[in-house]
Every structure is written in C-alpha cells, then in structure tokens.
Structure 1
Amino acid sequence: MKKYIVLAVCLGLLLVSSMAMAATNYKGITPGKGIKGTAHDLSLGNTLLNGKYGIDDNNTYANNPAGLNLDRICIWCHTPHFSLKQADIPLGAKVAYLPLWNHELTGQLNYTPYTNGTDEPGDTSHASKAEELKNQPGGVSILCLSCHDGSVAVNSYGKQPGGQGPGDPDSTGAANVFIEADYKIGEGGDLSNHHPIGFNYDVVEGSDNEIQKKSQLLAGTYTIAALLVNGQMECVTCHDVHNTKNTGEKFLWRSDYQSELCLACHLKADVKKALQ
C-alpha cells in the first residue's frame, strides 16, 4: 500500500513539474534569460532556427581578420551607426520611435483594425465600444510588424534610402526570407482578427467594467500602465521582445498558463473561480 502511495505522490509531483515547465518554456526558450538562442536571435549560430535567415554579411568587411564571422544578433534590428532617420520613413507612416533602427520598415500604411462589431450586448457596461478599438498600430508596433506582417523580408536590414554606411551591406546577401506563416500578424494589412492594438487604454477602461485599472500589476513589478506606450496598448504591452524580464512563454511578460495573462487585464471573476 505504501508503495502505491509513494508512486502516486511521485506521479503527482512529476505532473506538477511538467505543467510548470510547460508554463515557463517554449521550444527550448527559457523566459527572462536574454535574446540569445530565442526566436528573435536570427544569427547563424542559433540552432533553434538553423540559420534559415541567412548570415550576417558584415563578416566580409575588409577591416575584419580573414575568415572572421561576426554572426551578430542585434544587427538585424539595430545598428550603432547609420541607423534609419525620421526622413527615411515611408511617407504617411506613423513611426515616431526608431531605436537605432536598422531594419526595413513595412510599407503597409493602413491596417484594418479589430472591431467587436456593432451589434453589442445590451449590457454595455462591459462591452468596449467598437469605435474605441478602431485605431492604427503605434510606432513601436510598426517595428514589430515590419517582420511580422510578412511584407518585408526578415533578412532585409541595413537598407538606407540615399546610400549605405561604410561596411554596412544592403542585406544579408542571401535570398529574401520571409517570416513563417504561423507567425504572420497583419498579413495584407489585416489585423481584424487579432487582439486590438493602438487603442487608448484609459478610454476603454473608463467604459468597460471588466477592464482592469492600469495601476494594477501585470507582471512582476510592472504595472499595466508601465507597459503601455503613450497610454496605448501595443505589442510590447504583452511581449518582452528581448526576453529579458518576462516570465512567460512566447516572450510574454507573464505566463498565460490558465489564461493568467489575459485575466490580468480582463476581469472575469467567474473564469478565475472555475480555474481554481
């Protein structure tokens, strides 16, 4: 009898351990351990991607020792010199944030936003109005969409209108490689079936009793307000793209195990009770 009890306890611990691991790991990526080795590390040395996006062409500089392969991680999005300037932004694009940006920007200027429709429930105290959500992505989300909407090759970096910086190639030199279909968000400018971004959180919070106050903690010491961008919900409100301070899978600020991330903003007491 004791043997069966011990076995049951061991199996229970194994199940709990497996569930915890499932909540904190994603395809071998450990949350909060940095960008290296994650899906956002596009270097040839990242075995997770097996070099599918080509090679960092900067290994061919004349100034480098012969045969040195720099195989850098940051260069795909950022560069210390000759980054894009505001004057380089496509006419009509709303990008006010260029953190030493080195990747070609999406040419998609207008996205079809999410809307929950016009036939809303009668109890409008917990139904965010459709018009409140119909906004364009903010500048920081445009940077994400410059790979994720599939309109620009992932390995299209270093392209600067009017010329390139010394030693900076126009791209990786490999054939254009676009993001996989499973990770495309906003393809063809269509964001209508994705969680809305670009909306003002205060406006929605003020009209919806089931939206959490922005002063509430979302993840760790970060409040919801701290993860908004100019008061707007953006991609980075849910995702820590550099995998540095997040605790959740898929670059999420916190795990969505049992919908924890969703329920951090959406007040669904009945759902939480059921999960408990």
Structure 2
Amino acid sequence: MSQLLFFDSGVGGLSIWQQVHQALPGVEAVYAMDDAAFPYGELSESVLVERVLAVFDAVTQRHDISLAVVACNTASTLVLPHLRQRFSFPVVGVVPAIKPAARLTRNGVIGLLATPGTVNRPYTHQLEADFAAGKQVLRLGSSELVTMAEAKLRGQELDIDRLADILAPWLQAPKPDTVVLGCTHFPLVKEELAKVLGSDVTLVDSGEAIARRVRSLLPAGAGNKKGGLSHLYHTASSPKGLELLRAWLQESALPEYLPLYSSS
C-alpha cells in the first residue's frame, strides 16, 4: 500500500504532518528527518540538495511513496525542481505564507520569521513581490529559534527573555500585526511567540494550505482505516528526544529508526 512521505531537517515538519493527518486521518505516512545536518538554514545550496536527494532515494527504496511533502521552508526554496525531475510522484513544498498574511494584515506591516537562508533567498523575495506589493515586509532570520523549538520538544523550558531578545526589532514601531511563521519548527513555539509579540498579532503558518493541497492531489478514497505514521527515519547517529517525540505525536508505535545518510 502506498504511503505519504514527510521530510524535514528535524521535527518541525511534524507540525505539517499533524495538519494533514487531521484532514486525512486514514492515510498512512512515513516521516524522514535529516537531523545529522540540522539546522538546514546554515547549509550551502549544493550540500542541501545532495542531502535531500540522498534521503529521498533511501526512503523510496523502502516504501511505495504516492506523494511527498518537503515540510521545510529552507529545503522547499531550493530542492523541489530536483525532486520533481527524479521522482514521478507529486512533491509538495512548503513556502512562507506571505499571500494569506497580506490578506490578513490590518496595518500593512507583515513580519517574516524564518531561518536566515529562507529570509534571504530570491524565491522568498519573489513571493513578497507577487503577493505583498504595497505592504511593508519586515524580515527576521533566526537559526537559534529553530534550535529552541527542538529543545522545547525534548522537554526543556523555552527562555522567554532570550526569545524577546530575538524578536526585539518587532517590539517597537513599525510593529507587524501579522507574522508569517516561515519555518515549520516555529508552530511548535507558537504559544511563546504570542506571549512575546502580544495577543493583537496574528501568527500565520502553512499547515492548513498544505493539507488542502495534499487532499487535492490524492485520488478520491485514498487511505485506509489505520492511518497514522508507520515509520520515523533519522540520519543522526544519536537522535535526541525520540521518546518525547513519540509522546508528543500520541502514536502508539513508531516501529523503526534507521540512519539513512550521514556526511563524510
């Protein structure tokens, strides 16, 4: 039976998986993370593309994949053409939700919170030109926040003061009233972000849009009664927090952990 594949450099893509699982509870999926190279926002383009292709090659040798989601904004801005050239199944990317943010903003000031790589890539600038013309887009890139989100998942308390330091540019005028969570890790710390930015700031991510896109690409009646995640793959030799990850997912079993690719 065919399965979906969700891919990220770490656990952030699980925020996308959860949205898709809510929309399609009977569809079975595989999750693969290249945590040996985490965080992706600091990799060169050539290295990133090489690693993503290697992980996809390894997973597709083990599973019949019907559709894949690159649940990582950084990877999506670079690797989608390479994946679509190599594989025949549909590949859905996650890009910063600038289009819906432009519709939601009341004061015309949008904050884009992402990794440094995503913030600075031409693809992101084109999204702004296409969908946020006439709006002021304030960009803030942080790899540290990605690490903080992973630490929270492992049970560590997030440092609110440090988070306020990261977000300091947006705590004074011009203050965005709508913030795009341009990294799939950031919904994991949505509560803390709201605490620092204030309840009047709308936080926007791509999860619901991706779920709708996946549903539209799958044939009617796709899935089975079981659904859920069948496998979690990782590339780090000593992945952290798998038991906490299992509890957070509320899955009864993630039966197999296999290293897929590691840098030389």
TM-score normalised by length of structure 2: 0.26
Structure with more helix by fraction: 2
If asked which structure has higher relative contact order (CA below 8 Å, sep 6+), I would say: 2
